[in-house]
Each structure stands twice: as structure tokens, then as C-alpha cells.
Structure 1
Amino acid sequence: MVVFIEPLGKPFAHLSVVKSMLFAELNDNLNSNEILFISSLDYFNSIPENFRNKLKFKEIKVSESSILNIFEIALIVISAFFNNWKIKNIKVYLLFSKSYSNLILKFLSFLFLCKKKRLYVLLHGELQNVALKGSRSIRLDGRAQRILYWLDTKFSSNLKFVIISEFVFEKLKKSLGYDPLNFVAIDLPYLYDDKKGSTKQNTNELVVSTVGVNSTNKKSFLLNNIASNFEDKIKSGALMICTSGRNDDVLFSELIDTPNMGSRYLLSTEEYAKRINSSDVLVFFNDDNYSLISSGSYFDCINFEKPILAMKNEQWEYNFKKYGDIGYLCNNIDEMYEHINSLLTNNEYLNVFSRNLEIARDNSSIEKCIPYFMSKFQ
């Protein structure tokens, strides 16, 4: 039996990862087990219907208290095991957790986990807290993680932490100063959408967009520099600058088109796809200070077959080397200006990357990599 637990996720959060994992489990030739998905009803409904129809579902509701959530997550996981204790072979994926919950689960794992009962806890952006930079709560979380991973090296366990990036795992080892024991590191193969034609309406207008969540950590504020530098082109209708996701803490210029999020945490899959499809080129500004966060943005670009302009950093260079270069890596913002100027005068400027995008899609598609994926979770 396979159980997926998403205790705190907002609708559409980490959905590309969840879809790939579900696809692999549902299509593994050696796996005929039923799959149970435990989450809020809102989150479950954000999963595409073709997946939902193949899953069993159990609804959970958690409190809004961050302190209570620590214990609620642990209780949900323990219940998943004990409610199915008679099943000899059970694998649980905890899709999102908290560092303090993981400490509790690690100690409890010595009591209720065995060879045929396994727990995999996915780590996401919280790994950046290990750098011990930022607010007091971020530093405390980072210290809790450091204690947890150090203790984890002392015992072999069937609770394993999952990092969706081999690059990030190497960076984590350097940050910690040792090799963590009970970890799974995987460059997760992606489930790409069926190829669709662009929804772009005005072919005479160059559209430049960010991807996903915008934040100061990602240096998304540099989009304002691009808008300011090309203000005349924007006002003349030759260029459009926009974003394609939530804005955490950046104040964007009126020259930049941003989606109306209302009270939503993330855009729906359809709205997100529409904004990306209407773009010509996607821009990224994050540097090496963002190296402990697994980013799926490279694969979003492949999914929508859009070339990129990105600030050069180690994670982008790793992706380019492993899967292929799908755009230009820039040393500074002035180089981005030069590429945008070239695009404004030559709309064929980025077509050189079309073939690379197709190759990268083939090399990183979950359909071809199910054995590789499943070997990580045996």
C-alpha cells in the first residue's frame, strides 16, 4: 500500500512534484498496490481529475495554530501506519512537514517503522534555513534541522528525508560539513503536459515574464530594473513585462502586469499555464544564495517550451550541463538588457534553443524514468 499525506498544503502547492510521484507509483509495472491520498478537500481537488479517479481519499482538517500543527502532522502520520498496520508492505510519502514534527517522527520511527514500513519526508524551501540567515524563527528552524540531521547520522532508520535535487543535496552536505545518512536525493523526472500551441495574441509584442512565486530571496525586484530600462518600449506596445505567480514581498512598478491573486495562495494550473504560454521568454534573477532550495522552474520552462534569460548561478549551470542549455545565462543585468534588445529587433533570436528544449523534455520525462524513480524508494 502507498499513502501520500499533504497536511498543510494550499491548493496547487508543489503540484508538479506530486503529479510526477503519483504517475510513477500508478504506472510502475511491479506495483499493484492501492494508493491513499490524505489531505484537505481543497488540496485534493487541485489535483487533476484523471489522478483523483485512481486514488482513495481521506479528508483531514488541521488547526491554524503553527504550534499545534507540529503535533498534528506527527499524529496524522502515525495514524496512517496504525490504521493499516495489518498491511505488511506500506510506504508513506509525507509531502510537506515541519522541522519540529520531523524530530518527533524520527524518534518514533525506531518504534513503529521496520523494513516493510517506510516513511519518506520531502524537504522543500525550508532547507534554506540551514544557512542560519534571516529572522529569529528562521534561524531556530535551521538549528532544529541541523540537530535532526546530525542525530540522524547516528542511526539507520526507515524514515528517510527526500531532496528533489541532487545538486541541492551536494550543497546541503557542504553546508553541514558531513554526509547525512538517511537521505534520498533525486533529480525528479517531471510529468509534462501534452504539447499545446501558444495562446499569445499579439505577435508583434515581445512578452517577458517571471515564473512562479516572486520574492526578494529570488531577487525578483530586478524585474523593475528591466521595466524602467525599457519604459519607452513598454509604452509604445513593443514590449510587455509581466509576472506569472504570487508576489511575496516585492513592490512592482505600474509598468509591470501582475495577476490578480485575490485571496488565493497560488494561481490555478490553467491560469498559470495561460500566463506562461502568452510569454516569449522567461527571466530569473536568483543567485547562489538560493542554492539550498530545489527549483522546478527549469522544468516549467521545458514544459511550456519557453527559452530563458537567467542570472548565472550554480544550480542553473548544473541543469544546463545535465539536461541542456535552454537559453542564456547572464553575468549581470546589463547582459539581460542586451539580449532583450536583440529580441526586440529579431524575433528569431531564441529559436536556436527549440531543439534543446525538446531534448531536455525527453531526457527528464517521468514516462521514461519510472524505473529510476522507483529504485529510489524501495
Structure 2
Amino acid sequence: MIIISEVVHNGEVHFQVNSCFVSMISILCPNEKILVRAEENHIIALRKNLRKDNLENVEFLSFDKYYDAKKYNWGSRIFGEFIQISKTLLKGRALNNKIYIWTCLFPTGHFFLNLITYFQKNKKHIIILHGELEYLKNKNKTKAENIFGRILKAGMNLSTNKNKYIVLGDNIKNNLYGLVSNRILKKTFSILHPYNFTIQEKLQEIKDDNKLIIGAIGTQMLSKNSQCIYKLAKRFEVSIMRDEIIFRTIGKVLPELDSYKSDLVENLYSSTFVSQEQFEIEISKLSFVIFFYDDTAYELCASGAIFEVIRMGIPIISIENDFFRWLFNTFGEMGFLCKDIDSLEEILKGLKQGSFKNEIDVFKNNISHFKIQNDLKNIALNMKPLL
């Protein structure tokens, strides 16, 4: 018996990557019974995403949502996570489970899990690390972030040698040197961020190649430098008015960006929920997806958004950052990396004039190879030693 538990996220948050872990564990352990435990709407999203997979050995067990994402409350989130961790462990004990896979934990969840399992050294716990690693950074942190960083580090130090960690990129493990102990590094394994790259044929037929449409996807916020799309659009105001180029955001735009907004950028679903299906349809209409992440954002976590873009076969334009540099150096260029917004502007001017056709062909070819090389079966093989 293997239990895969998501105790942090509700609904469709992280459902793509969690679906991939369910598929990969099923591939690696076809004769093992697998129980997936998560919030009710997250289970619905997983089931829908996995409906075409042959998962006869997988069962799903849901629990009620314990916090409201619209009304952020640290107390309810922390206490609720403690309860769900405990319930997962109790379920595992009843089923004589020996392997637990935790798809995401908050720093307090790391501490709580490793504290209560410290004396249960016959069980194996595999913890997948995401954005919580950002709390380990030493620069530009608030008091709360410092506290969470210390709690996370203390929790990791409590972990037994049977407990293993997974990070989603070699560059992330390299960046952990000096932030965690050598003991933790030795039991931290790196795999590529898993993603299901299959795509519906109808999505490949939507794009209008006669228009240059530049889009930023996902939640737009200051920490992602999302305000830059409005600054960039201002530089192309005349071209926008002539309908030579379109700038667009797809996804929620946080109120902190209100002072930057302008009519030069189309904001789709900026204040309403967008389903994954509609999200994909809108992305498929884009010529390029633009990112403004810098090294302050993605040294210690992977960008799930870029894998959605790769899945759709769309090249990117981005400010250079550690994760994208590593990805392109390892698997080939899949878009333009620019030193600053001025360089990014020059690329867009060239694209508007029809330049870079050879480069774009290379990008699309690399994207195709990347998807073949990194299908779930191949990534799953890198997880085999952990199980």
C-alpha cells in the first residue's frame, strides 16, 4: 500500500503536477494498491485529468475543504493541515501502509510531520518540495518569512534517514547548498517537474498566425513582476492602435496591479474564475507567452507555468532567470531569454517585422523533442530508487 496525500491545496491548484505523480507511482508500482487522499474538489480535478489513464490499482479518498482561499487565515490553514496530516497517518496505520508520498507541505506541516514520525522509523515518507523552499533564503525577508524559514529548516532537520525529499529541477538542488545541511542534501533527489504533455487536437487549430499576440498567463502579481507587461505595452502603443500587436493577460490580476493597468493590455478572466479547459483554449491563441520572473523568484522552485506553455507548443519570451537558464542549457532553447526589458522590447520589434523565423523553428523543434524525452514514463524511472 502506498498513500499519496495532498493536504495543502484545494480545487484545481497543483492538480496537473499531482495527477502526474499519481500516474508515475501507478506506472512504477502496478501491483501495489495506491490510495490518493485530498480535498474533495481536488479529487474531482484529479479524477477528470486522469480519466483516460488505466488506474485500476488507484483509489481516491476525499476530505472537506478546511479553509477559504478568499479569506486567508494562517490559523485555520496551519491547524487544518495538522488535522489532515494526522488523519492520513491514522488511515495509513489502519491499512498497514509503509510508504507515504506528500505532494506539498507548508513549513509548519514539515515540522509537524517530521516531529510525530520521528519515532516511526520503519515508515518511509517522500516529501515533494515546492515554493516553501523560498522561505530558506536569507535576503529581503519579512519577520513572518524568517519564522517560517526557521520552522521549515527545523522540520527538515528532524526528518529520519528513511524520509526523502524531491525537488523539481537540478538547479534547485544546486541552489540548496549552504541553505540546508549535507545530511538533508544527501537525501534530496532531483527529477524534472513532471507534466502530461498530451494535448487535444482541436487546440492546435485555434491559433491565428497572422496576428502577433503576446500573453502573460496565470495570476498576475508584483512578486512575478507582472506590472512589466503594462510598461512594455506602453512602448508599443502605436502598434497596438494599428492592431499590429496584442498584449494580453490570462488569469486573475491582483488589486496590487490596479495602478499599472491600462487599456493597452487585454485582461481576460482578471476577476473571475477560469476553468482549466478555457484557460488552455486562450493560451492556444497566443503567439508567444511572456514571463518577467527574475532570479529572486525561481531559484528554489520550478515554474509550472512554463511546462503548460511547452505542452501547448508555444515559444516563450522571458527575462533571464536561474530556472529558465538551466532548462534551456539542459534541453535546448525553447524561446528568447532577455537580460532586461529593453532587450525584450528589441525582440518584440524584430518579431513584429517578421524576423527570427529560423530561431522560432529551432524553438519549436526543441519543444517537440523535450515533450518526447520527458514523458511521464521516462521521468518515473528517476523516482524508482526512492520506492
TM-score scaled by structure 2? 0.86
1:274 aligns with 2:277: no
1:118–1:77 CA distance, 2 compared to 1 (3 A): farther
Within the candidate set 250, 253, 261, 2:257 is matched to 250
- The superposition leaves residues 248-302 of structure 1 with CA deviations (integer Å, 9 ceiling, x where unpaired) of 44333221112225454xx322122112100001111111112122212332222
Aligned to 1:3: 3
Aligned to 1:370: 380
Measured after TM superposition, the shift of residue 187 of structure 1 is 1.9
SS at match of 2:127: strand
- Equivalent pair of 1:244/1:259 in contact (CA under 8 Å): yes
Measured after TM superposition, the shift of residue 241 of structure 1 is 0.6
Instruction: Output the CA distance in 2 between the equivalents of 1:213 and 1:179.
Output: 36
Aligned to 2:368: 358
Within the candidate set 163, 170, 173, 1:166 is matched to 170
**Which residues of structure 2 form unaligned runs of 5+?**
68-72
Within the candidate set 142, 146, 150, 1:143 is matched to 150
1:186 aligns with 2:195: no
- The superposition leaves residues 85-133 of structure 1 with CA deviations (integer Å, 9 ceiling, x where unpaired) of 364553222222221122121121122341xx32222222121121243
Aligned to 2:90: 82
Measured after TM superposition, the shift of residue 137 of structure 1 is 1.9
1:228–1:135 CA distance, 2 compared to 1 (3 A): same
Within the candidate set 301, 305, 323, 1:297 is matched to 305
Aligned to 1:318: 326
The alignment-based identity, stated in percent, is 18
**Which residues of structure 1 form unaligned runs of 5+?**
none
Measured after TM superposition, the shift of residue 18 of structure 1 is 0.9
1:31–1:77 CA distance, 2 compared to 1 (3 A): farther
Instruction: Output the CA distance in 2 between the equivalents of 1:35 and 1:300.
Output: 27
Measured after TM superposition, the shift of residue 177 of structure 1 is 6.8
SS at match of 1:85: helix
SS at match of 2:88: helix
Instruction: Output the CA distance in 1 between the equivalents of 2:378 and 2:188.
Output: 24
SS at match of 1:75: helix
Between 165-174 and 221-230, the greater mean CA deviation after superposition: 165-174
- Equivalent pair of 2:191/2:382 in contact (CA under 8 Å): no
SS at match of 2:251: coil
1:48–1:254 CA distance, 2 compared to 1 (3 A): farther
Instruction: Output the CA distance in 1 between the equivalents of 2:181 and 2:107.
Output: 19
1:74–1:183 CA distance, 2 compared to 1 (3 A): farther
Instruction: Output the CA distance in 1 between the equivalents of 2:146 and 2:262.
Output: 32
Q: How does 1:259-270 map to 2 (within 5 A)?
A: 259-262=268-271, 264=273, 267-270=274-277
Letter of the 1:221 counterpart: Q
- The superposition leaves residues 308-338 of structure 1 with CA deviations (integer Å, 9 ceiling, x where unpaired) of 1111222211101111111111111111111
Q: How does 1:1-378 map to 2 (within 5 A)?
A: 1-28=1-28, 30-49=29-48, 51=50, 54=55, 55-64=58-67, 65-85=73-93, 87-114=95-122, 117-132=123-138, 133-149=140-156, 151-152=157-158, 156-176=160-180, 178=182, 180-181=184-185, 182-194=187-199, 196=201, 197-200=203-206, 202-248=208-254, 249-251=256-258, 252-262=261-271, 264=273, 267-290=274-297, 291-346=299-354, 349=357, 350-375=360-385, 377-378=386-387
1:334–1:354 CA distance, 2 compared to 1 (3 A): same
- Equivalent pair of 2:213/2:286 in contact (CA under 8 Å): yes
- Equivalent pair of 1:62/1:69 in contact (CA under 8 Å): no
SS at match of 1:47: helix
- Equivalent pair of 1:99/1:141 in contact (CA under 8 Å): yes
Measured after TM superposition, the shift of residue 213 of structure 1 is 2.8
TM-score scaled by structure 1? 0.88
Letter of the 2:170 counterpart: E
1:108–1:366 CA distance, 2 compared to 1 (3 A): same
- Equivalent pair of 1:213/1:247 in contact (CA under 8 Å): yes
Letter of the 1:209 counterpart: G
1:10–1:279 CA distance, 2 compared to 1 (3 A): same
- The superposition leaves residues 128-158 of structure 1 with CA deviations (integer Å, 9 ceiling, x where unpaired) of 1212434332222122223333x34xx6333
Letter of the 1:257 counterpart: E
Letter of the 1:59 counterpart: S
Measured after TM superposition, the shift of residue 189 of structure 1 is 3.4
SS at match of 2:165: strand
SS at match of 1:217: helix
Q: Root-mean-square deviation (CA), in Å?
A: 2.5
- Equivalent pair of 1:287/1:311 in contact (CA under 8 Å): yes
